[in-house]
Structure 1
Amino acid sequence: MNRFKASKFRHTEARLPRREAWIGGIRAGSFASCGNHVKASCHWVAFNAEAAGVLGIVPLECKDGGKRTVSQLCCHSDVVTDFDFSPFDQLLLATGSADETVKVWRLPESGQDMPSGTGLTLGPGGHSVDLVLFHPTADGVLASGAGKGVTVWDVGQQQPLTALDSHGDQLQSLTWKRDGCLLGTSCKDKKLRIFDPRASPAASQSVPGHENNKDSRLLWMGSSDCLISVGFSQMREREVKLWDTRRFSGAMLTMALDTSPG
């Protein structure tokens, strides 16, 4: 008898939806974008359009089998660098831009016109805003990364809750832990930092990250204490590192993905 149990998924295969259900023919992205290129809520899909300061907005669902229309949201006077939907309000969209401001927009219900004016503006902060990310468990809390610093905002009060200590170089990514208690950042100074914004603006932990200062990204593994970082080695090889933040002294695992051209 075979001691290996056959998987019930061994004959499964991906099935594409019908062509009429696709969202296609959209030229998304911009060479100047550094954060999200596309993001979706339960109502809308937002993507970075080619025109500076403009987001494309597409409804996620079409009523009565109608054709999706692409709307434009004129957000900023310069390139939209990053954007994020609130996990508590699926019509609330935050955008960051090279014009040094963070703006928060309330999108309409499906079938209505896009807003002509911003809901509120946070900033300017003196640097291009490269990253925006809503808090996963606290409604109305938003983190933004600009230059070497991170600001945590109270969107309702339109004021900063805290400004985290300056990093050694340009900020590259930030990520909230799923329970919202910790914030991780990566930076061009090749260090990874862990912050508890409620306790102190200073990093509670800091370790050397990737040996190359090319762009890097961080991601928490669900609700665990493990952190994944994606970056480049000294030889310009793309690599993934796995960290246990309870023993944040060295990577548990390093895996090279491929060799990137110079």
Structure 2
Amino acid sequence: MSRSIVRQSKFRHVFGQAGKAEQCYDDIRVSKVTWDSSFCAVNPKFLAVIVEASGGGAFLVLPLSKVGRLDKNHPLVIGHSGPVLDIDWCPHNDNILASCSEDCTAMVWQIPDHTPTRPMSEPIVVLEGHSKRVGIVSWHPTARNILLSAGSDNLIIIWNVGTGEPLIIMEDHPDLIYNVSWNRNGSLFCTTCKDRRLRVCDPRKREVVAERLAPHEGIRPMRAIFTREGNIFTTGFTRMSQRELGLWDPVNEVTNGDSSIRYFEITDEPPYVHYVSTFSSKEPQRGMGFMPKRGVDVSKCEIARLYKLHERKCEPIMMTVPRKSDLFQDDLYPDTAGPDPAIEPEDWLEGRDEDPILVSLRDGYTPPKSRELKVAKKNVLDSRATPQRSLSSCDGTNLPLWSM
């Protein structure tokens, strides 16, 4: 009699649990802008949500501990003159957040540890360089003060927010950019685009170094992220509009499989992407924020925490691995990226790469107190040359292609 073999995995029994009513954030007017964004960003200190606002764009920032019903007079961040489309917390300073908007700008904000008594309207720096709405902001994972923005003008601009200047401008995308993801050390980033191409870009060379047409055959938008090992994980749709995922090796091989709202484990053994479990919910999400690994509760064997946006509230979802022992579980918590940058912006721009500076979670993680981000804007009469725009071709000629 044959017996099926169960793959051994420490995540085999992982399960998700929605927060109780008293752990949720209620009466939040989540933005109804028809833009494909998460509308939510979270770190070990704060929860930020893009909200409805009259006369411009706004987002809400709450300390994680401020659960329950939102005070209708709670001050908002209101500096943008158009709807806010994306927000992203700085990985190296829990009090710094970037935002972007239909007003064609990106802004960087210093969020105080205390709750302000009035709306915040003065960003640290305003980044102006796009000619159309800006839909994506993404901090560099290891370099201090490096921020990427992408707009409907199909430009990607990389900024030094410490000086407010654009460092690199890339024009390699002929259509709307859906998403951008840095690799682990920030030497490359991948993008998905309305032209149905998946691209890998080297920003310092100002060129696309690899690309693939239609990783998923469906015409609906796809998303891509770099994994820790340097592969690219994508989500998209089949021709029949069924959800599909893919794990891509830019050098060697490709593996595909269909998916739903499920947990997967990515390993080095075929078929590389392994289904683990499913978390079901009655209500679809309006957006989702993901807590950095350093912000999870190790005492409860929590390996991830998601913040799910509904129409009028935000609900935390904790993913835990059951363990009988109260001791620290080393196998669940390898050292993870900490809050300190590994490299200065000038060094990164000159070609140096560094992996993230890791911290141990053995004693948990306590967010440091607020650190001020100082901006020293360059003189407009500075003789430094204007950043070069990318001259690489968009048609894929002479570019390396991934093999099937």
The reply to whether TM is greater than 0.5 is yes
Segments of structure 1 that go 5 or more residues without pairing to the other structure are none
Asked whether 1:99 is paired with 2:103, we answer yes
Aligned residue pair count? 251
- Hey, what's the Cα distance between the residues in 2 that align with 1:120 and 1:171? 24
Question: Which residue in 2 is equivalent to 1:112?
Answer: 116
Cα deviation 1:90-125 (Å, max 9, x = unaligned): 111100111110011111112334533121111141
| Distance verdict in 2 for CA 1:8–1:33, change over 3 Å | closer
Match among 58, 62, 65 for residue 62 of structure 2: 58
> Normalised by the size of structure 2, how large is the TM-score?
0.56
- Hey, what's the Cα distance between the residues in 1 that align with 2:16 and 2:254? 35
- Is the strand fraction higher in 1 or 2? 1
Asked whether 1:87 is paired with 2:91, we answer yes
Contact 1:190/1:213 (<8 A) preserved? yes
Contact 2:22/2:68 (<8 A) preserved? no
Any idea what SS the aligned residue of 1:186 has?
Answer: strand
Question: Which residue in 2 is equivalent to 1:167?
Answer: 173
Offset at residue 253 of structure 1 (A): 1.7
Query: Rg: which structure is higher?
Result: 2
Match among 238, 248, 254 for residue 233 of structure 1: 238
Contact 1:81/1:96 (<8 A) preserved? yes
Offset at residue 83 of structure 1 (A): 0.7
- Hey, what's the Cα distance between the residues in 1 that align with 2:15 and 2:257? 31
Cα deviation 1:159-212 (Å, max 9, x = unaligned): 1111123212111110011221210000010100001212x1110001112233
Structure 2 counterparts to residues 115-134 of structure 1, below 5 A: 115-134=120-139
Any idea what SS the aligned residue of 2:251 has?
Answer: helix
Contact 2:83/2:103 (<8 A) preserved? yes
- Give the fraction of aligned pairs with identical amino acids, expressed as a percent: 28
- Hey, what's the Cα distance between the residues in 1 that align with 2:64 and 2:226? 27
Question: Which residue in 2 is equivalent to 1:145?
Answer: 150
Contact 1:75/1:95 (<8 A) preserved? no
Question: Which residue in 1 is equivalent to 2:333?
Answer: none
- Hey, what's the Cα distance between the residues in 2 that align with 1:45 and 1:166? 34
Contact 1:33/1:80 (<8 A) preserved? no
- Hey, what's the Cα distance between the residues in 2 that align with 1:82 and 1:4? 41
| Bigger RCO of structures 1 and 2 (CA < 8 A, at least 6 apart) | 2
| Distance verdict in 2 for CA 1:72–1:252, change over 3 Å | same
- Hey, what's the Cα distance between the residues in 1 that align with 2:13 and 2:260? 28
Offset at residue 7 of structure 1 (A): 9.1
- Hey, what's the Cα distance between the residues in 2 that align with 1:235 and 1:116? 46
Any idea what SS the aligned residue of 2:180 has?
Answer: strand
Asked whether 1:32 is paired with 2:34, we answer yes
Segments of structure 2 that go 5 or more residues without pairing to the other structure are 262-404
| Distance verdict in 2 for CA 1:5–1:138, change over 3 Å | closer
Offset at residue 73 of structure 1 (A): 1.0
Match among 159, 164, 171 for residue 158 of structure 1: 164
- Hey, what's the Cα distance between the residues in 2 that align with 1:77 and 1:196? 33
- Hey, what's the Cα distance between the residues in 1 that align with 2:11 and 2:225? 28
Contact 2:79/2:120 (<8 A) preserved? no
Asked whether 1:187 is paired with 2:193, we answer yes
- Hey, what's the Cα distance between the residues in 2 that align with 1:229 and 1:21? 32
Question: Which residue in 2 is equivalent to 1:255?
Answer: 258
- Corresponding letter in the other structure for 1:181: S
Contact 1:225/1:246 (<8 A) preserved? no
Offset at residue 22 of structure 1 (A): 3.0
Question: Which residue in 2 is equivalent to 1:49?
Answer: 51
Q: Does 10-19 or 68-77 show the bigger shift?
A: 10-19
- Hey, what's the Cα distance between the residues in 2 that align with 1:162 and 1:105? 22
- Hey, what's the Cα distance between the residues in 2 that align with 1:38 and 1:132? 13
Question: Which residue in 2 is equivalent to 1:224?
Answer: 229
- Corresponding letter in the other structure for 1:141: I
| Distance verdict in 2 for CA 1:126–1:21, change over 3 Å | same
- Hey, what's the Cα distance between the residues in 1 that align with 2:244 and 2:11? 30
Offset at residue 16 of structure 1 (A): 6.0
Offset at residue 13 of structure 1 (A): 6.7
Contact 2:201/2:209 (<8 A) preserved? yes
> Normalised by the size of structure 1, how large is the TM-score?
0.84
| Distance verdict in 2 for CA 1:111–1:239, change over 3 Å | same
Contact 1:243/1:251 (<8 A) preserved? yes
- Corresponding letter in the other structure for 1:253: N
